[in-house]
Amino acid sequence: MSRYTRVEIAFLCTLVLLLLAQIGAHALRVVGGVVPPHLEWHVIVPVWASFGMLHAVYTLGWRRALWFLGLSAILSLGFELIGVWTAWPFGEYYYTDVLGAKVLDTVPALIPFSYFMMLYPSHVIVNLLLDGTPLSMQRRLTGIMAAGLLTAIVMTSWDLATDPYMVGTAKAWVWVQAAEPFPYFGIPFQNFAGWVLVVASISIVYRLIEPTVPLGHRRRHTRWITLLPLLGYGTMALGDALVAQPVGTRLLPAFAMGGPLLAALIRLADSDRVN
């Protein structure tokens, strides 16, 4: 009999479909002129967010998965609305119509789900780094705050190459420039500090609430199932490394995202807390 259940095999098939969707989207972008440069996000965000939700249900149970998704979407949307209206905490910017329909005619509906799609694998990576398991094990306030901050750094690493592309090539949002152009490819450093603040806030709030929410029925954690969100995080890094613009940003994912990913993979391979 196969070691993996039907559900686990379904997750592996989901990963394959996800990879095919992302590879296809990036392939269209690489050839150029076939589709608008932002089109892949209309595929990647729904697929990755759905994948993350299903994996969270499998790993955490449906109650904690809903809390994770709800907090990620609601808090990120709130921060983004405040950001556009007040220029805090990211800096002064506004969204164009590239990413589609907007909430309150301000923030594209895709944005809150894009937070979740990358926050979830970042959450798993940090849990592996700290405790050798995809589950949150930190229960003291200091541990929760440290885990939340580390999660924010792991996720913000993705933005280092993604933001310049989305601004300069996809033109999904516009930074209102000061007298002198912002030093990081036209992006203020405040943006990345804002990302850390927002993601850390979401992660810390979830980690504080999680122990009060019943875990529910949880299936066994094989290494293959735990590996899936890590591969997803890695494919996002690979996509940026291949097609990010400006070209100078293509080296960033290998170091900024590759470091924590490699450490998590090593921890996963050595951990005795995963079946």
Question: For the segment 163-184, what is each residue's pLDDT rounded down to a tens digit?
Answer: 999 999 889 999 998 767 888 9
For 115-157, the pLDDT digits (tens) are 999 999 999 999 999 999 999 999 999 999 999 999 999 999 9
CA distance 192 to 200: 12
- Taking only the tens place, the pLDDT of each residue in 219-255 is 667 788 898 889 889 888 888 888 888 998 999 999 9
Q: How far is CA 152 from the centre of its chain?
A: 10
**271: burial class by Cβ within 10 Å (0-12, 13-18, 19+)?**
middle
Question: In the predicted model, what is the mean pLDDT of residues 41-53?
Answer: 87
- Here the tokens at position 59 are 């790993």
Q: What pTM, to 2 d.p., does this model score? A: 0.92
Closest among 172, 37, 57, 189 to 114, alpha carbons compared: 172
At 225, list the tokens.
């199932």
The three-class DSSP label of residue 136 is coil
Q: pLDDT tens digit string along 194-205?
A: 999 999 999 999
Quick one: average pLDDT of 78-87?
98
Residues in a beta bridge with 175: 93
**Alpha-carbon span 40 to 32, nearest angstrom:** 12
Q: Which pLDDT band, with edges at 50, 70 and 90, does 1 fall under?
A: very low
Query: CA 235 to CA 222: how far, in whole Å?
Result: 21
Residue 212 scores a pLDDT above 60: yes
